[in-house]
């Protein structure tokens, strides 16, 4: 019976520990935190702005000329597949590098797949950049990078939409950075629901109080089942009765040691 009670106490303690630790995780971290694989960034405690870029997903592709090769361009969409499609840039492509041959556009490399996109808040909000959308595509033949990849930087443009521009392009690194200025990147200030969760200190404080009370309650139930009544229901009551004296002795010992006086004990 005693072992059963101890097992119950341990089980209760384990369950409470899991629940308390789960509740200590901030709500915004349990949601999308500062990263999303959709086109909506939820507000967080660090970034209290919700950004929805889904209106920028279009049915007519965005096209921007390469800064390195005049006959090359980038056909792209935002958070969705492009309409252009061929063997080099199949369905599911979000960013396609194309080249011009005899007046016809043909796919060259996939710089980003829709399924591999990731939207996140800009880490430092420099130059009005509020959100960054990244996507990786085909394997890069260069040893400088694993895959072709695109970084779209969204700037809060309260004055209206401006055509996209290439801020950085590197064939060697299989990389292109595109910047867009749009009012949608300004977002809406919101406060994340669910609060910030409990701190580790709060969880520890709760455990300090809850676990002993649970032990005492289960102990009382055990003692009651053994016929105990009144004060007999208190587990370890002799030890608890002597606890104030033990604490006083402990403080006295520490005070004596700090004062430098020699501590003498009576022989038993």
pLDDT at residue 45 is higher than 90? no
Closest by CA to 111, choosing from 91, 83, 140, is 140
- Copy the structure tokens of residue 117: 């996109």
- Give the whole-angstrom CA distance, residue 154 versus residue 189: 17
pLDDT in tens, 247-265: 877 777 777 777 766 555 5
pLDDT at residue 170 is higher than 90? yes
pLDDT at residue 196 is higher than 70? no
Q: Model pTM?
A: 0.61
* pLDDT higher at 60 or 45: 60
Closest by CA to 34, choosing from 187, 200, 177, is 187
Give percent above pLDDT 90 in the chain. Answer: 46
Task: Find tokens 């016929």 and name the residue.
Answer: 227
Q: What are phi and psi of 170, to 5 degrees?
A: -145, 115
CB 131 within 8 A of CB 119: yes
Which CATH number is correct for 34-189, 3.40.50.300, 2.70.130.10, 3.40.50.720, 3.40.50.2000? 2.70.130.10
Q: Among 30-34, 81-85, 144-148, 263-267, whose mean pLDDT is lowest? A: 30-34
CB 39 within 8 A of CB 122: no
Q: What is the pLDDT of residue 129?
A: 92
Rg (CA), the chain: 32
Domain ranges of the chain: 2-24+204-238, 34-189
- Mean pLDDT for 221-232 is 70
pLDDT at residue 15 is higher than 80? no
2-23 vs 200-225: helix axis angle to the nearest 10? 160
Confidence bin at 193 (pLDDT 50/70/90)? low
The segment with the largest mean pLDDT, out of 12-26, 36-50, 61-75, is 61-75
- Mean pLDDT for 185-209 is 69
- Give the whole-angstrom CA distance, residue 158 versus residue 48: 18
Q: What is the pLDDT of residue 32?
A: 36
CB 61 within 8 A of CB 77: yes
Q: What is the pLDDT of residue 257?
A: 73
* pLDDT higher at 133 or 234: 133
Per 3-state DSSP, the chain is made up of helix, strand and coil in percentages (nearest 5) of 35, 30, 35
- Copy the structure tokens of residue 108: 């060259």
């Amino acid at each position: 019976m005693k072992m059963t009670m101890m097992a119950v106490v341990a089980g209760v303690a384990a369950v409470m520990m899991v629940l308390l630790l789960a509740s200590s995780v901030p709500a915004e971290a349990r949601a999308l935190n500062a990263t999303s694989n959709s086109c909506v960034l939820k507000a967080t405690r660090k970034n209290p702005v919700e950004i929805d870029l889904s209106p920028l997903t279009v049915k007519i592709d965005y096209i921007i000329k390469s800064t390195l090769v005049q006959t090359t361009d980038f056909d792209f969409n935002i958070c969705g597949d492009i309409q252009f499609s061929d063997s080099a840039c199949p369905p599911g492509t979000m960013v396609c590098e194309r080249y011009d041959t005899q007046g016809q556009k043909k796919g060259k490399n996939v710089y980003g797949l829709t399924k591999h996109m990731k939207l996140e808040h800009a880490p430092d909000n420099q130059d009005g950049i509020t959100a960054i959308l990244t996507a990786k595509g085909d394997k890069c033949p260069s040893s400088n990078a694993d895959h072709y990849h695109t970084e779209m930087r969204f700037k809060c443009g309260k004055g209206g939409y401006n055509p996209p521009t290439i801020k950085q392009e590197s064939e060697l690194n299989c990389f292109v950075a595109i910047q867009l200025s749009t009012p949608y990147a300004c977002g809406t200030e919101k406060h994340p629901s669910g609060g910030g969760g409990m701190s580790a200190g709060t969880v520890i404080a709760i455990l300090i109080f809850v676990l002993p009370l649970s032990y005492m309650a289960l102990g009382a139930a055990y003692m009651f089942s053994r016929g105990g009544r009144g004060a007999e229901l208190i587990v370890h009551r002799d030890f608890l009765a002597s606890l104030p004296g033990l604490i006083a002795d402990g403080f006295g010992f520490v005070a004596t040691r700090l004062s430098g006086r020699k501590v003498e004990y009576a022989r038993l």
